[in-house]
């Protein structure tokens, strides 16, 4: 497991200055790494994909539980340094390195069953949806994200945090908050709080029509669904017809609908 001193030494060896643009905030506390890995509910035969391994702190923690990990790292310097770190701290473990943008990667060298990641705050929601859509073999996920984002991902219908990310993730499965992470365990320390979200999958494929309804419903949160879905349906009158056919009050709003409500709307078009 990497400590704060070794993490800084590794960064210095490649003249790395963490950048906000790439969301580079490295966990320097081994106990936090163990907390993340424990919350991921990994089994020894899981094949884990990690997004943005950075200097390898979380990677090493994952390798204490599983034997096979695929990492997706966009930074060439970090991707080149990782094999040396793995060989030093976890000899004999299998780590496949994919140097690509996590937002666009479409093929992995191993079939992942779990995803674990400390995600950059600016891309956390779209990258999660992308991986769920692209890799249906992923059965569970544990991600560390900005606290505000975590609450959105795990929110229930009717709550102030419920929105498009909550509903889309609910299509694929169930998400729950799995703990808070303090700022002082990172280098450099972020300006926002972090939290863990654990997710288990129960649907394999995305449903683009359901996602279109979700996007339309939350594009104008203050509008009734009759108005918000008018563009998707073709007119407010047609939106009302569809909503009534789905058993939903046209005067209700998107945040009041659960995922099965959105499914009924999409099916009633």
Domain residue spans of the chain: 4-201, 208-267
pLDDT for res 67:
93
Contacts of 254 (CB under 8 A, 6+ apart): 163, 214, 217, 218, 221, 225, 228
| Strands (E) located in the chain | 26-27, 47-51, 68-72, 94-98, 114-118, 140-146, 173-181, 186-187, 194-201
* 50-101 pLDDT, tens digit each: 999 999 999 999 999 999 999 999 999 999 999 999 999 999 898 999 999 9
Distance CA(255)–CA(118), nearest Å, equals 28
Residues of the chain whose pLDDT is less than 70? 19-23
Q: Which CATH class is domain 4-201?
A: alpha beta
Contacts of 236 (CB under 8 A, 6+ apart): 226, 227, 230
Of the candidate CATH numbers 3.90.1150.10, 3.30.70.20, 3.30.70.260, 1.10.8.100, the domain formed by 208-267 belongs to 1.10.8.100
Give the CA distances from residue 57 to residues 30, 32, 96, 119, in Å, rounded to whole numbers and listed in that order.
8, 10, 16, 14
pLDDT for res 187:
84
Element (H, E) at 172: helix 164-172
- In angstroms, how far is CA 137 from the centroid of its own chain? 15
pLDDT for res 8:
87
Q: Which two three-digit tokens encode residue 263?
A: 């499914």
Element (H, E) at 111: none
Distance CA(128)–CA(153), nearest Å, equals 10
pLDDT for res 4:
84
């Amino acid at each position: 497991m990497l400590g704060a001193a070794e993490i800084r030494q590794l960064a210095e060896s490649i003249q790395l200055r963490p950048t906000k643009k790439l969301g580079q905030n490295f966990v320097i506390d081994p106990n936090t790494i163990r907390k993340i890995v424990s919350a991921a509910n990994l089994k020894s035969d899981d094949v884990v994909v990690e997004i943005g391994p950075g200097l390898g702190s979380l990677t090493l923690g994952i390798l204490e539980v599983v034997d096979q990990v695929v990492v997706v790292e966009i930074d060439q310097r970090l991707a080149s340094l990782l094999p040396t770190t793995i060989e030093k701290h976890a000899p004999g473990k299998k780590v496949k390195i994919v140097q690509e943008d996590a937002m666009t990667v479409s093929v992995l060298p191993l079939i992942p069953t779990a995803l674990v990641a400390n995600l950059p705050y600016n891309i956390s929601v779209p990258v999660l949806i992308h991986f769920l859509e692209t890799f249906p073999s992923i059965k569970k996920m544990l991600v560390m994200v900005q606290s505000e984002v975590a609450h959105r991902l795990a929110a229930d219908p009717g709550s102030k945090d419920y929105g498009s990310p909550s509903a889309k993730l609910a299509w694929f499965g169930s998400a729950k908050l799995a703990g808070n992470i303090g700022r002082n365990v990172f280098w450099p320390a972020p300006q926002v709080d972090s939290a863990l979200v654990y997710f288990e999958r129960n649907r394999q494929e995305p449903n683009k029509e359901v996602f279109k309804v979700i996007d339309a419903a939350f594009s104008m949160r203050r509008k009734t669904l009759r108005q918000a879905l008018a563009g998707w349906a073709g007119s407010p009158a047609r939106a009302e017809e569809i909503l009534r056919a789905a058993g939903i009050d046209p005067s209700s709003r998107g945040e009041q609908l659960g995922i099965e409500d959105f499914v009924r709307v999409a099916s009633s078009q």
